[in-house]
Structure 1
Amino acid sequence: MRSTIVAGLLAATVLVTAAPADAAPTSTSGASSRDRCPQLDTSLPWYGDNRAKLQKMIDERGTCSGIDGRRPVAAFDWDNTVVKNDITDATLAWSLRHDKILRPARWRDTSRWLTPAADRALTAACGTSVPVGRPLPTSVDTDCADEIFEIREKSQTMGGEPAFAGNWNHRRTVPGYAWIPQLFAGHTPKALRSFAAQARTEQLAAPVGATQKVGTHTIAGYVRYYEQQKDLIRTLKAAGFDVYIVSASSEPIAEAWSGGVGLDRRHTIGIRSLTRHGKLTTGIRGCGDMPDGRGEALPYMDGKRCFINQEIFKIKGAAAWERQDPAHRIALGAGDADTDVTFVDDATGVHLAINRNKPELMCRALDDADGRWAVNPMFIAPLPRKSGVYPCSTTGATRPDGSLGPVLRHDGSVIPDQEDLALQAG
């Protein structure tokens, strides 16, 4: 374990004082940046010295510092980063309870990777009596609701058979994520946004800790905005940052929630379904040099970098998949899972990792190679401290073919195994 991260996390007193070569210059004229820059709410608890790290970055990088030039960019994952729990699960659960899934002509057409076993299971569970394009009665058909949600939750059928098979780049997409917007084919984006908004109202009204039933599945029944993240986004915007959400949720679903932290649809990036005659299809927009298709490129893992580069920094083609020079990278990246590790690691100011014990993200965070990682337990119901170590030196990273290997620093060296030192104590 590097001494800097141990000191920062356990003593909570050490601030990063040395600015790397890619840091924005600071202004020395007039009042101090602290006097001019909007301040994070000191009444909201952060772990250790994380608030101070974030404030220092805001003071140095924000337009309030007196530095002219391009507005600095901050990018946040959504589920379990800005909110507690999963808005896609919430929207799908609401939709199943309100009969909003339209019967496809053939289930195998919903995803290019759906297995014959999954096609058979869905056909058997949901039947063929409902006309194609009409709502399935999932509010009363437990078997159908169960089969859909089991595939969403575990990428397998209720019988335990794999739901997806074939070849895909495991750092650019995951079929189960693409399948959710594909399930809503036939609806308009506005309708899906409405489903998500109604689920949002329901989830915010439910008490913390509530659960709900989907078929025979029991899942979380509440979602909450993290007050610390709302405050951070507010402060970043006030300090002149351009703030974005980059989520692997369907974009209309993410749009129904992002307004709650003051972000509009233009600043909300999610899975972008292709439309025909104003209605969603099973097609999904590509990224970089990957054309539109069936979900081969999502805002997922390396795909989040691609969409940030393409949509925010206007970098086109194959270059959108590559790590850019500091002037074309985000200042702040925030995420909670391995699905976020690439774009969070790209940040030049602060890498904010919400600790959910995900190995690749936590290996990089605890290694803290550039001294700019800030690791924070979940703000609501944090997980227990991970026992043992993260297997960074052996199986911490996911390769494009889905196999596991060591987590490498940018110089090619292997990150040693890391211990989760009281990070969940909060």
Structure 2
Amino acid sequence: MQRRKFLNTLAVATAAGSLVAKAGAAGTAKPTADSLDPGRWSPLNAARLQSVLDQHGVKSKQYNPNRRPYAVFDWDNTCIMNDCEEALLMYQINHLQYKMTPDEFVQVMWKDVPKGPFMKDYTTVDGKPVTMDDLAADVESDYRWLYANYKGLAGDKSLEAIQETDQFKDFRAKLYFMYDAICDTHPLEVGYKWIIYFYRNMTPAEMQAMAAASNDHGIGDALRKVAYESPATLPGKAGVVSDTHFHGIRIHEEIRAAMHTLRENGIDVYISTASLDDVVRVFAGHPNYGYGVPPENVIGMRLEMRDGKYTSDYKNGWYFNYGPGKTLGIRGELASKKGYGPLLVFGDSDGDAWMLRDFKDTAAGVIVNRMKKGEIGADSKLAAEQIGNPNARFLLQGRDERTGLMIPDEKSVKYGKTERKLLA
């Protein structure tokens, strides 16, 4: 999750071109099972990745089966377009899939969240400040009404009938507004843990069934940004608020295929995510999606369990798997046991910037180019400076946010725009 040079010389272009041809990007030889399918990779990136496979894969002279190389991928906005955890938040809201009483819901809503106003950008539609206290009072009132009336909780009304009510529309707009306001106002650790506390009282099987339904819905949905505004008929204490959700999920086929190619080359594949690990395990491991990552290879956020169900307590002693925490997780769960760091790292945001740069064993860090500033912006600038270098340490990979597809360029196209850009 995220809160977001030169021209080639003739010699470099010639060297890179030969590598591209080897990777199959020149359109001559068909890629074999153990060579990278160039797909929509930037040709220079395809060449660089193929060179890493050639130098470190199972066919290289230095390959040691007792010291298998490994690659680490971020999940959201790296392996897929958009964020499956945030998509699940909206799916859970839209389908009212909660297993909490109103009192339990209120406990979760306030979990670790400071009282008081949000940052100045979070105001009502008419520009008045919004506080957590007022917003929470409105969401609590809505949930108590929904709990009493929706047949999936304690009432007798169908979901379709409930979704037409102002109470539901107020609940959706204000709860999603609350999530964004918490993430942007307070340390991200607060918001990124908060979002997973709403699985309280679910078994992993129940939550993962919901996650699979959310994935399927997102893949079938259009890529679209929708503004949700709370109804004027229920201003409550907070007033009328509006927030925008980016709907739709797309599989990044180049990433999915690269994972299989890495395994064909004797290189293991791991996921490091700032989403709940059990949420990502559904997407990364289910055969319907094709990534083939086993559940034990997913490192993510974790909750304490009680009687086989999730609690609203973060797992004691576990990493906050974001930013520097991802480096800690890789060191603690992988590097310390294997004795070496990852060969390749793939990411897109500030949450991945540290793991992209922190390991001396990493040959290349691939950045899905979202034209962000901050820590990932610093890594992206280094990648931009290395374009054309056949031994580049950082790579920028473009995509078009209008389609969710990668494009064979280092530049990307932002949603709502038409021009390709390299940096923020």
Structure 2 letter corresponding to 1:277: D
Shift in CA distance, 97/223, structure 1 to aligned 2, threshold 3 Å: same
In structure 2, the residue matched to 1:62 is 57
- Unpaired runs of 5+ residues, structure 1, are 17-34, 157-161, 165-169, 316-325, 386-420
1:150-165 correspondence runs (5 A): 150-155=177-182, 164=186
Shift in CA distance, 36/110, structure 1 to aligned 2, threshold 3 Å: same
Q: Aligned to 1:65, what secondary structure does the other structure show?
A: coil
Give the Cα separation in 2 of the matches to 1:204 and 1:146: 23
How far did 1:371 drift?
3.5
Overall identity of the aligned pairs, in % = 23
Give the Cα separation in 2 of the matches to 1:221 and 1:73: 32
Write out per-residue CA displacement over residues 354-390 of structure 1, whole angstroms, 9 at most, x where no aligned residue.
Answer: 11122222322322588311111225443359xxxxx
In structure 2, the residue matched to 1:331 is 343
Q: Does 1:88 align with 2:89?
A: no
How far did 1:218 drift?
4.1
Give the Cα separation in 1 of the matches to 2:43 and 2:276: 34
How far did 1:36 drift?
9.2
Q: Aligned to 1:270, what secondary structure does the other structure show?
A: strand
In structure 1, the residue matched to 2:379 is 364
Q: Aligned to 1:13, what secondary structure does the other structure show?
A: helix
Task: Give aligned pairs, total.
Answer: 338
Q: Does 1:310 align with 2:325?
A: no
1:14-413 correspondence runs (5 A): 38-42=34-38, 44-66=39-61, 67-68=63-64, 69-101=66-98, 102=100, 103-105=102-104, 106-107=106-107, 110-115=110-115, 117-127=131-141, 129=144, 139=163, 140=165, 141-155=168-182, 164=186, 174-207=189-222, 209-211=223-225, 217-259=243-285, 260=289, 261-286=291-316, 291=317, 297-314=319-336, 328-347=340-359, 348-359=362-373, 360-368=375-383, 371-378=392-399, 380-381=401-402, 382-384=412-414
Structure 2 letter corresponding to 1:99: L
Aligned CA RMSD, in angstroms, stands at 3.6
Q: Aligned to 1:195, what secondary structure does the other structure show?
A: helix
TM-score calculated relative to the size of structure 2: 0.70
How far did 1:118 drift?
2.0
| Alpha carbons 2:381, 2:423 under 8 Å: kept | no
The structure, 1 or 2, with the larger RCO (C-alpha pairs under 8 Å, 6+ apart) is: 2
Shift in CA distance, 375/237, structure 1 to aligned 2, threshold 3 Å: same
| Alpha carbons 2:135, 2:178 under 8 Å: kept | no
| Alpha carbons 2:139, 2:174 under 8 Å: kept | yes
Q: Aligned to 1:303, what secondary structure does the other structure show?
A: helix
How far did 1:45 drift?
2.1
Write out per-residue CA displacement over residues 139-188 of structure 1, whole angstroms, 9 at most, x where no aligned residue.
Answer: 441222222111222327xxxxx864xxxxx5xx5211111111221212
Q: Aligned to 2:366, what secondary structure does the other structure show?
A: strand
How far did 1:212 drift?
5.3
| Alpha carbons 1:8, 1:14 under 8 Å: kept | no
| Alpha carbons 2:400, 2:413 under 8 Å: kept | no
Higher helix share: 2
Structure 1 letter corresponding to 2:334: I
Give the Cα separation in 1 of the matches to 2:154 and 2:363: 48
Q: Aligned to 1:145, what secondary structure does the other structure show?
A: helix
